[in-house]
Amino acid sequence: MKYDFDEIIERRGTDAYKYVYLKDVCGRDDVLPMWVADMDFATPPFVMRTLQKRLEQRIMGYTCSTTEYRQSIVDWCRSHYQWEIKPEYINYVPGVVAGIYLAIQTFTEKGDKILIQDPVYHPFRFVPEGSDRVVKWNHLVRTESSFEMDFDALREDVKGCKMMILCNPHNPAGICWSRDTLQKVAQICAEEGVLVVSDEIHCDMVLGGHQHIPFATVSEEAGRISITLQAPSKTFNMPGIVCSQAVVLNPLLREKYFSYIENSDMDLGNVFCYSCAAACYTDEGNEWREQMLDYVQGNIDLLADGLENATDKIKVIRPQASFLVLLDCRNLLAQLAGESTGEEAQEKLVRFLADKCGVGFNSGSMFGPGGVGYMRANLGCPRSVVKQSLEQIVAGLATL
């Protein structure tokens, strides 16, 4: 392997979100911080070189999205997803969450209903609620190995909604939705006149044997009713640079959405974002990405196999994409909960994992009602940290 993912880089004292809010989220700051979704690997050298080159310009004035930037996205979509898009379909957005916010502002009114599928990435709920929209839950259904959609429920739940926010691949369960599933979603939403905002930020982190299918490509109607949000930020560990993009095929949606973005100056990216994104969407970027994913797969196998051999109290839902891993802790929760239920019981689970196991994971309940009994671990970290977390969990469970 050309790149070193074993290296431990000290992040305390660097304003890293993961450490600054560790105590708030996990109740203590001496746990292994395996929560917020950035990786503890060095940001790739081609990004660092790009930053240095830009610094040499010595003037940090207003910057525009470049032809190279748009073309790098066009080429990447073609070579990775056989998706033919044009540069004019693309607009910069200052983060995927901001892209969701901007879509909500553009296409919905206060009081409108927006459908999301829990357990799901928490801003899907907080962003609409923060804008006085009403969240309509459409619960994913637990299967033996993961979760799936319930189309009968979706058909009912989506009635009267203006928008659905789809997570593809799905965070926190790491699901690459199949073509058939996406086609059904498209058909149901098209029939009900619902706009689909497809958050595809994890699309470039598909793990062995699985495939990412962009929602907009699964049918003519999917392309017509959707906005796709992508970013190199998660995959290449540079969310702090803030570079994300919207891809919109339908000219009417595009005109409305891009005008809103441009009129509010939200397409004015910082001086680094365009060139850093273009540096990632390259062969060199792809090589780094593949090596990073091999390493992450090794981390997932280590934790999943280790827990499988040691306990039936925590089951790893093996992700098809991303470094985020959902842990089914419902057996453990049942043992810890006593008389308590819901959030109170969940808090006992969070406390047990932090206090007795020394690990700081995200609580599943933040992903909505379907997340109670689950925790989300971030395995985008050196192998030694995963090994240590496994040992600490096994030791903690032994105290029960």
Ligand X SMILES: Cc1ncc(COP(=O)(O)O)c(C=O)c1O
**In the bound complex, what is the minimum distance in angstroms from residue 109's beta carbon to ligand X?**
23
Q: Which is nearer to ligand X, 135 or 337 (CB)?
A: 135
Q: Which is nearer to ligand X, 201 or 280 (CB)?
A: 201
Q: Find the residue with minimal CB distance to ligand X.
A: 95
Which x/- pattern over 142-181 shows residues binding ligand X (rule: CB under 6 A)? -------------------------x---x----------
Q: Which is nearer to ligand X, 37 or 386 (CB)?
A: 37
Which x/- pattern over 215-244 shows residues binding ligand X (rule: CB under 6 A)? ----------------x-x-----x----x
**In the bound complex, what is the minimum distance in angstroms from residue 56's beta carbon to ligand X?**
27
Q: Is 194 in the site for ligand X (CB under 6 A)?
A: no
Of residues 106-135, those binding ligand X (CB under 6 A): 121
**In the bound complex, what is the minimum distance in angstroms from residue 252's beta carbon to ligand X?**
25
Q: Which is nearer to ligand X, 99 or 285 (CB)?
A: 99
**In the bound complex, what is the minimum distance in angstroms from residue 308's beta carbon to ligand X?**
26
Figure out which of the listed residues 31, 96, 218, 359 binds ligand X, where binding follows CB under 6 A: 96
Q: Is 346 in the site for ligand X (CB under 6 A)?
A: no
Cβ neighbours of residue 23 closer than 8 Å, sequence gap 6 or more: 29
**In the bound complex, what is the minimum distance in angstroms from residue 273's beta carbon to ligand X?**
11
Q: Which region, judged by CB under 6 A, interacts with ligand X, from 95-103, 111-119, 268-276, 277-285?
A: 95-103
Q: Which is nearer to ligand X, 166 or 336 (CB)?
A: 166
Of residues 301-340, those binding ligand X (CB under 6 A): none
Q: Which is nearer to ligand X, 272 or 352 (CB)?
A: 272
Figure out which of the listed residues 33, 44, 95, 174 binds ligand X, where binding follows CB under 6 A: 95
**In the bound complex, what is the minimum distance in angstroms from residue 38's beta carbon to ligand X?**
8
- In three-state form (DSSP H/G/I as H, E/B as E, the rest C), the secondary structure along the chain is CCCCCCCCCCCCCCCCHHHHCHHHHHCCCCCEECCCCCCCCCCCHHHHHHHHHHHCCCCCCCCCCCHHHHHHHHHHHHHHHCCCCCHHHEEEECCHHHHHHHHHHHHCCCCCEEEECCCCCCHHHHHHHHCCCEEEECCCEECCCCEECCHHHHHHHCCCEEEEEEECCECCCCECCCHHHHHHHHHHHHHHCCEEEEECCCHHHECCCCCCCCHHHCCHHHHHCEEEEECCCCCCCCHHHCCEEEECCCHHHHHHHHHHHHHCCCCCCCCCHHHHHHHHCCHHHHHHHHHHHHHHHHHHHHHHHHHHHHCCCCEEECCCECCEEEEECHHHHHHHHCCCCHHHHHHHHHHHHHHHCCEECEEHHHHCHHHCCEEEEECCCCHHHHHHHHHHHHHHHHCC
Residues that bind ligand X (CB under 6 A): 37, 95-97, 121, 167, 171, 199, 201, 231, 233, 239, 244
